[in-house]
Structure 1
Amino acid sequence: MAQTINSACNAGYSFLPIEGEKNMAVTCVRSSALDGWQRFMSSQGYRTESMKPFQNFAQADAEAERRIPLRGFVDFSECVVRDTKDVAIPWLVGRNYSLQSLGPVGDAVCASTSVGSALRRFVEYFALLQDCTDIRIDSQERTTSLSYRILDPNIWPRHQDAMFSFGILAQILCQGSTDGWDQVEFHFEASASMMTGDIQRVVDAPCSFEADTNMFRFPTRFLDRAIEPCDRAAPINELNRQIADKNRSSALVERLAQVVYRDLDQLGIDQERVAREVGMSSRTMRRHLATEGHSFQQVLDECRMRQAVFEFRTKPDLSIAQIALRLGYSEHSTFTRAFRRWSGVSPQACRKQMAQ
């Protein structure tokens, strides 16, 4: 799997380009994610017809079921903020986004009778809207956290899509009531300088930066707040069928990579547990991978190396030894040898070139 330093440090956006896999899926998002951007910005006096980000996606939002590259959408949101110098736009687009644009997922959310059920449905079926993204809700006795993180390490910067997604989640949260917003707090994986602008003022809540994931936290009691449901039934059976179909149609290496990327710096990567996550025994998983010409170790190594390049790019203050530990290597030297085999250069040389 040796690559040049340029390909290793400037990888494209196919999710897991393992040697021998010729047609890896590009990570995508439903094109209806674009809905509301032009309308909101036009209402603020922007001439979107002359703006390059909108020209690039001029036809995409005409087809609600069309899927567009996730990297393209993320770049779009970054370009909008960079061109307008208005960091509030993604957040406000999300806050004013029509949930009906989410299709059946939006119908399920809108048919909910409480904030908690609406948020859980959004999280549970988010995979039908956007690929390769870890979005979860974690409720404790006193506080609940909603976290959102794109797993594809080739997509960076990726700050404004998080603001957009949090805007939608905040819209759902506030359907019950806006009381208690002063008890909400935000955490972002980007640095404050990368986010640009006064994010704390935009979201009107305390913010911290350089976290492992994007997250906002609020009192758990907010989940019990009642909301007025729409007059359409929630298409739960259809959504469950779509989730099952999506899992069956996804390449096994893609599904495994998503689990590995999600847990790489948080949990030990245990082959048995990862196999259970994708709905099979480890023996069956190994057999399927072998049929496709892969092994679990190959998938794990590829994910580790691409995540390493991501860490070099986004965490310049971490030492090589610290990054090796985050990736599951007990020895710094073992990581260095593995990275050199994969890329043809040392981790230090790769990081140096990226810094230059």
Structure 2
Amino acid sequence: MTEATVRAAALNGWDNFCTLAPGLETIGSLPCERAPGAISLAEFVHFSESVVNRTRDVAIPWLVGVHYDLASLGQVGDAINAAGKVGTALRRLVEYFSLLQDCTDIRLDREDDMASVSYRILDPEIWPRHHDAMFSLGIVGQIIRRGTRGVWEKVEFSFEAKQYEMRGDIGKVVCAPCSFGADINQIRFPAAMLDLALPETDCKATAAAADVRALSRTLVDQRRRTPLVERLAQVVYRDLNSHGIEQERIAREIGMSSRTMRRKLAEEGSSFQQVLDECRMRQALFEFRTRPDLSIAQIALRLGYAEHSNFTRAFHRWTGMSPQAWRADLARNAQ
């Protein structure tokens, strides 16, 4: 699979906060461009982790996101800034996020009187990835605060990382209750905030430049250019532990019949089962690294196996070892 990338503009603003940290004059080496205007997502995540580790300031990624200049995102930023309401701005961020960053699941959901924006990098080999989430949710927080004029009530957060891994009191940084060890990074807030108007000066400044239809066409073109194996893998990673992995449903979501999907996968030298097995194997190794408290049976269920014995056989086929032996080796190496 091709390397996941993120817009190089994601680096904007970090130096403004890093240079304020005592004894730190530079943020060090930056990720290199992999394509015009794009950098490695794995390198960017590592960069955000290293900034917090070096400065011992857990607030930096959040502050960069809250103060991030959305105009740096080009047409996507224009579309967000031209939105008249908080909900419209968040929907545009979510809808066009794949034009900014690969291999990421970002969603806007509404349930009863609460709404949420969730964010998770899908590549299981990119870890740790704690402070990249702080940066991305900071951008979401910026949009919400524009609508509330700075008011921050009944907002709560959840993070994939354990509390001790975040290296600081995150609750004090975001001024809201936080929970940890979740399956996804998320900010929840009253759904009424979606209907709040954004400042007219923000909207009028970019309304003429925003071309949402052009963005939609660009998004369609990008999906067409992406190999089917990669598109399928991202859906599988997204749905493991939350939905049943069904060929028919996934094919419909991708926009084709299951028969057409099988034929196109064969043309790329793969199959649905091969993609599913590869995703399950990589996700299993991720689960062992990040969730040592879970039993083998619980991990099997998270990967979509009804019986953990089926998972044990599959894992032995992938690695030549049983899950128990692999976990024991992992624990020994960590000592």
Contact 1:78–1:158, Cα closer than 8 Å, also in 2: yes
Name structure 1 gaps, 5 residues minimum.
1-23
Paired position in structure 2 for 1:160: 131
The alpha-carbon distance between structure 1 residues 253 and 36, as it changes in their structure 2 partners (threshold 3 A), is: same
Q: 344-353 vs 277-286, which deviates more?
A: 344-353
Counterpart among 61, 68, 72 of residue 90 in structure 1: 61
Contact 2:145–2:151, Cα closer than 8 Å, also in 1: no
Q: Distance in 1 between matches of 2:293 and 2:20?
A: 42
Q: Distance in 1 between matches of 2:73 and 2:87?
A: 18
**SS of match in other structure, 2:181:** coil
Q: Distance in 2 between matches of 1:302 and 1:43?
A: 44
User: C-alpha displacement at 1:141, in angstroms?
Assistant: 3.1
Contact 2:21–2:55, Cα closer than 8 Å, also in 1: no
Counterpart amino acid of residue 257 in structure 1:
A
Q: Distance in 1 between matches of 2:326 and 2:216?
A: 43
Contact 1:186–1:208, Cα closer than 8 Å, also in 2: yes
User: C-alpha displacement at 1:103, in angstroms?
Assistant: 1.1
**TM-score with structure 1 setting the length:** 0.88
1:335 aligns with 2:294: no
Paired position in structure 1 for 2:279: 303
Paired position in structure 2 for 1:74: 45
Q: Which whole-Å deviations, capped at 9, do the CAs of 1:98-139 have from their partners, x for residues lacking one?
A: 011111110000001111101110011000000010000001
**What is the correspondence of 1:31-42 to structure 2 with a 5 Å cutoff?**
31-42=8-19
User: C-alpha displacement at 1:328, in angstroms?
Assistant: 1.0
Paired position in structure 2 for 1:182: 153
Contact 1:38–1:48, Cα closer than 8 Å, also in 2: no
**SS of match in other structure, 1:230:** helix
Paired position in structure 2 for 1:287: 263
**TM-score with structure 2 setting the length:** 0.94
Q: Which whole-Å deviations, capped at 9, do the CAs of 1:185-232 have from their partners, x for residues lacking one?
A: 000111001111100010000000011111111001111111121323
User: C-alpha displacement at 1:60, in angstroms?
Assistant: 5.0
Counterpart amino acid of residue 248 in structure 1:
R
Paired position in structure 2 for 1:323: 299
Q: Distance in 2 between matches of 1:281 and 1:156?
A: 34
Q: Which whole-Å deviations, capped at 9, do the CAs of 1:23-51 have from their partners, x for residues lacking one?
A: x21011111000111123235566443x4
Contact 2:229–2:268, Cα closer than 8 Å, also in 1: no
Q: Work out the percentage of aligned pairs sharing the same amino acid.
A: 61
Q: CA RMSD in A?
A: 1.6
The alpha-carbon distance between structure 1 residues 86 and 248, as it changes in their structure 2 partners (threshold 3 A), is: same
Name structure 2 gaps, 5 residues minimum.
none
Q: Distance in 2 between matches of 1:60 and 1:25?
A: 15
Q: Which whole-Å deviations, capped at 9, do the CAs of 1:146-197 have from their partners, x for residues lacking one?
A: 1000000011100000000011100000101246513100001110011111
Paired position in structure 1 for 2:204: 230
Q: Distance in 2 between matches of 1:100 and 1:115?
A: 17
Paired position in structure 2 for 1:245: 221
Q: Which whole-Å deviations, capped at 9, do the CAs of 1:76-99 have from their partners, x for residues lacking one?
A: 000000000000000001111101
State the structure with bigger RCO (CA 8 A, min sep 6), 1 or 2: 1
**SS of match in other structure, 2:197:** coil
Q: Distance in 2 between matches of 1:314 and 1:172?
A: 31
Corresponding residue pairs, total: 327
Counterpart among 86, 94, 106 of residue 77 in structure 2: 106
User: C-alpha displacement at 1:290, in angstroms?
Assistant: 1.1
